[in-house]
Amino acid sequence: MAHQTFRTVDVDGLDIFYREAGDAARPTLLLLHGFPTGSYMFRDLIPLLADRFHLVAPDLPGFGLSAMPPRAQFSYTFDNLARVVSRFTEVIGLQRFGLYIFDYGAPTGLRMALRHPERITGIVSQNGNAYEEGLSDGWDPIARYWRDPNDANRQALRTFLTPDAIRWQYEHGVHDIATVSPDGYTLDAAFMARPGADEIQLDLMLDYAGNVALYPDFQNYFRVHRPPFLAIWGRNDPFFLPPGAEAYRRDLPDATVRLLDTGHFALETHAETIARAIGDKFT
């Protein structure tokens, strides 16, 4: 097992928890998690890459072990998540790094790339979407809330936050659910049960509309800056469809695209495959 450390650092008044492993002299990979999880989603991947990379995996504000300030004190938007993570990299001294983007980590990381393209050495997108064709019908209730942000449409989204719904995200599209550890979805559900966590997640679901609006800007970034790119995707994802992975080649002809026979949380079943693909592409 690679040696890992677990720290919390003050980022402009917010405590941000992060995992770190590998030699800081090696290429850095910043691992950005998604909904509704935290940096622990990388618990299997980190040891597989730590001999070749310097790995840093923070918990986003409001997630995992990072600070979860009240909504009256912190606006839970993807712009703010990106701002905090960008400052986090500055506080811990990261100057250039690759991005591993998953789910919510995609619009967070890609916002960072738009603002500081000179810092980004490459991108791994694991079920991290940047194209409208990647959005499935599973987004329909959330899109309804975007179009009409009334209370009824907001309350309807609470079904996404239940322990059963969280577990379903882990198991859907996996041929043998006995291969999916209960650790991830059990911990996710526990964090979701904290007072106020539900409202934070509903705020982010509403703000996700701004990510879709930025897709053309993300795509222009790909065309202009041409970062080395690996899209490695669980093809059975109920939210982000395989065409979203394949679309990266439109703007990045040299992108590597791989579709795995698993679901949304591909690391739960294919961490070794993903680690090999990252090593092949970036070392």
Token readout for 35 is 């909904």
Compute the average pLDDT of residues 16-29: 97
Rounded CA gap, 166 and 184, in Å?
9
The type of residue at 96 is R
Q: How do strand 54-58 and strand 14-21 relate by DSSP bridges?
A: antiparallel
- Burial of 269: CB neighbours in 10 Å, binned 0-12, 13-18, 19+: buried
**Which element (helix H / strand E) includes 246?**
helix 242-246
Backbone angles phi, psi at 245, to 5 degrees: -75, -45
Active site residues: 264
CB contact at 8 A, 90 and 222: no
First and final C-alpha spacing in the chain:
20
pLDDT score recorded for residue 3: 87
Which residue's structure tokens are 């409202």? 199
Give the mean pLDDT of 235-260. Answer: 98
Cα–Cα distance, 175 to 236 (Å, whole number): 10
Per-residue pLDDT tens over the stretch 150-196: 999 999 999 999 999 999 999 999 999 999 999 999 999 999 999 99
Q: What is the tens place of the pLDDT at every residue in 64-120?
A: 999 999 999 999 999 999 999 999 999 999 999 999 999 999 999 999 999 999 999
Q: Which of 46, 53, 58, 55 is nearest to 1 (CA)?
A: 46
Give residue 2's pLDDT.
64
Phi, psi at residue 230, to the nearest 5°? -125, 120
CA 200, CA 78: separation in Å to the nearest integer? Answer: 12
| Closest C-alpha among 98, 51, 20 to residue 281 | 98
Contact (CB, 8 A) for 129 and 241: no
Integer CA distances (angstroms), 132 to 110, 218, 264, in order: 15, 12, 17
The structure tokens 């100057």 sit at 95
